[in-house]
Amino acid sequence: MTSQATPMIRLDELTKTYRGQPHPAVDRVSMDMPRGEIIVLVGPSGCGKTTTMELINRLIEPTSGRIYLDGDDVTRADPDSLRRRIGYVIQQIGLFPHFTVAENIATVPKLLGWDKKKIGDRVDELLDMVGMDPSEFRGRYPKQLSGGQRQRIGVARAMAADPPVMLMDEPFGAIDPITRDRLQNEFLRLQQQVQKTIVFVTHDIDEAIKLGDRIAILGERSQIAQYDTPANILASPASPYVADFIGAGASLKRLHLSQVSSVELDTGCVTARIDGDAEQARERLRASERAALLLLDADGRPQRWVDAGDLSSTDLFKAGEPVGAVVESTSTLSEALNAMLTSNSGVAVVIDRSGAFQGLLDFETVMVAARSERDFYRAAKVPS
Amino acid sequence: MDFYEYLVDNAEPLSQEALDHIVVVGISVGIALVLGCALGVLAHRSPRLRPPILAVSATLLTIPSLALFAMFIPLLGLGTPPAVVALVLYALLPIVRNTVVGLGSVDQSVLRAARGMGMGSWRRFLRIELPLAWPVVLTGVRVSTQVVVGIAAIAALVNGPGLGNEIFRGLRSLGSPFALNLVLGGTLGIVVVALLFDAFFIALRRLTTARGIR
């Protein structure tokens, strides 16, 4: 068997029974988790999803069954050295308040006996990776950080010794919705770089759909109701329980699965520099068939919408209307749709990571994408 | 002779007694810190042992000091040893109680994260639990010291060292012109010793509390 074919994590008939309880909390769960994927365990509270996850790093000892990590049976391995091979992030993050950011991140490397120089370099590398300036944040204490920053440090700390596997227990659960969205996007971008095998626990099906390469929907006693890709689960729920858990609006949820960059953008939009010549801009607008023109700043970032009338105004910085719905090309179609609805415009302005204008996304395109995906999944399900 | 003249004339014996006082209190609180921390950790870890440990250390504090000092005479004779033993017993309760409270107030998620990263139980205790509980433990030590500075005066009854001797000399010579000066001198000395200890603990707290939790 090649190492590619060996699942990174294999649970074999894993069971946990607590003393004095009639039913096991986790009942003979078997699962293969392929390497490099995000596997989301999702289910109602009390279904045993966290217990299942904590069986993997043996924070909870299984009553019976086996756990394999990269092909090795680790059911009886030394738990401390096992845990140093597995990154661990929890909802409360649990940063050590009396350690600096750098000391927090260095925890596992220090346990593994790395030398000082290597630890220092790794800390800086990780801070860069999570988008925090090392020279500014290295010496700070957790109480001097915002919630989102603490969460990033929690992730950096878990990745410090470059473990092949990470366990994440509702890591974004206690964060406000706007920051959560941003952190989720960052997390996906990070995962593209690092390609870890990640076991992710959440009770939020939308989060599961957005983040998971594979989703395991768990029922009572951690029984797997369905274990498949988000697209397949949305297209054909295996049971009424799964359908119920996904809830209404499966078509809308499918929009979580596609990024803005996956659809064709309208790039025919007329643009002009906001500090440029208004007369010239008016000429170009007249020459096109468009009704409005998008003003960009010197770095190509979208600023305002103006029509032909607005262009006669002397001060372009105050002409027309500010752009409403702006989304990054890595956002999901669902986020784009949401932005359009909240800004009350039928079109979203798409920007790249640096904030520069890329194109326009209209309502119609989103609807077509939603419909075609549905047809696509239907077609895939037709027995041949 | 007014009180001020008395102080000037007796500066040397008074400061010697004050030093003795400080030493006996320091030794007693030091022993109580080690013992109290150990008992506190035990009480924190074992829910079964917690009630008896707290009950016994609380009861010790209710024994009248005169009786407690006298109780150890048959075993340890007169002088410093019975004084220290009795003072250790009085100092225990605040330290034990604060150790239990301090350890209990450590954020569980912090400990869970430490465990999940593969930190062994010993290291977890020394690197995480104890430093985080330390400010609360230290407050207990400070309270203990204040209690014991006062009670140590009574140690003079069993020939123990310290400023209590001054007070008891005054009480024995009641009616003589020096009685009031002696009692006042001893009392004032104890107040000064108590203030010195407090200043010491404020400094110690600053020095030994990790910056992130100050």
Structural contact between residues A274 and A297, judged by C-beta atoms closer than 8 angstroms: yes
Measured distance CA(A201)–CA(B69) in Å, rounded = 61
Indicate the residue among A189, A220, A249 that finishes a domain.
A249
Partnered with residue A273 across adjacent β-strands are A296
Mean pLDDT of chain A: 87
Q: B57-96: per-residue pLDDT in tens? A: 999 888 888 888 888 888 888 888 889 999 999 999 999 9
Tens-place pLDDT, residues B12-30: 888 899 999 999 999 999 9
**Which of 3.40.50.2000, 3.40.50.1220, 3.40.50.150, 1.10.3720.10 is the CATH number of B3-213?**
1.10.3720.10
Q: In this prediction, what percent of chain A has a pLDDT beyond 90?
A: 48
Q: Which residue out of A60, A88, A96 would a mutagenesis test of the B interface target, given it has the greatest number of B Cβ atoms within 10 Å?
A: A96
Q: Is the pLDDT of residue A381 over 50?
A: no
Please check the confidence at residue A249 and state whether its pLDDT lies above 90: no
Per-residue pLDDT of B110-125, as tens digits, reads 999 999 999 999 999 9
Query: Do A195 and A277 belong together in one domain?
Result: no
In terms of domains, do A280 and A238 share one?
no
Closest CA to A49 of A223, A205, A239, A232: A223
Subunit contact B118:A59, Cβ cutoff 8 A = no
Angle at which helices B164-172 and B11-45 pack, to 10 degrees?
Answer: 120
Q: Cα–Cα distance between A352 and A366 in angstroms, integer?
A: 18
- Give the residue among A17, A25, A34, A167 at the shortest CA–CA distance from A91: A167
Same domain, A174 and A321: no
| Residue B213 pLDDT | 84
Q: Are residues A155 and A287 in the same domain?
A: no
Residues A51 and A199 both lie in one domain: yes
Q: Are residues A281 and A336 in the same domain?
A: yes
The CATH number of residue A178's host domain is 3.40.50.300
Q: How many angstroms separate the CA of residue A98 from the nearest CA in chain B?
A: 4
For residue B128, what are its two tokens? 């995480």
Position A377 in a domain: no
Residue A61 covered by a domain: yes
Contacts of B130 in chain A (CB under 8 A): none
Q: Residue A208 to residues A83, A216, A227, A245, A256: CA-CA distances in angstroms?
A: 25, 9, 12, 12, 10
Verify that A239 and A268 share a domain, yes or no.
no
* Whether the Cβ atoms of residue A78 and residue B118 lie closer than 8 Å to each other: no
Of all residues in chain B, the one with the smallest CA distance to A143 is B212
Domain co-membership, A223 together with A340: no
Residue ranges per structural domain of chain B: 3-213
Q: What's the mean pLDDT in A76-97?
A: 93
At A315-362, the pLDDT tens digits run: 777 778 888 888 888 888 888 888 888 877 778 899 988 888 988 998
Is A169 found in the same domain as A295?
no
pLDDT of residue A272: 85
Domain extent, residue A102, equals 9-249
* Interface contact B118-A98, CB threshold 8 A: no
Distance (Å, whole) CA A294 – CA A307: 9
Lowest mean pLDDT among A51-60, A299-308, B41-50: A299-308
For tokens 């009424």, the residue is: A240
- Say whether B117 and A99 touch across the interface (CB within 8 A): no
User: Of the candidates B112, B119, B128, which has its C-beta nearest A111's C-beta?
Assistant: B119
Residues of chain A with Cβ-Cβ distance to B102 below 8 Å are: none
Q: Is residue A323 part of a domain?
A: yes
Note whether A96 and A105 are within 8 A (CB): no
Highest-confidence segment of A234-248, A330-344, A352-366, B93-107? B93-107
Residues of chain A above pLDDT 70, percent? 94
Q: List, for residues B129-175, the tens digit of each pLDDT value.
A: 999 999 999 999 999 999 999 999 988 888 889 899 989 988 888 88
Query: What is the number of structural domains in chain A?
Result: 2
What's the confidence (pLDDT) of residue A375? Answer: 56
A329: CATH = 3.10.580.10
Q: Does residue A277 sit within a domain?
A: yes
Q: What is the pLDDT of residue A376?
A: 52
Shared domain check, A322 and A238 = no
Nearest CA in chain A to B210: A98
Mean pLDDT of A47-69: 94
Contact B212 A107 (CB under 8 A): no
**Listed residues A224, A249, A274: the one ending a domain:** A249
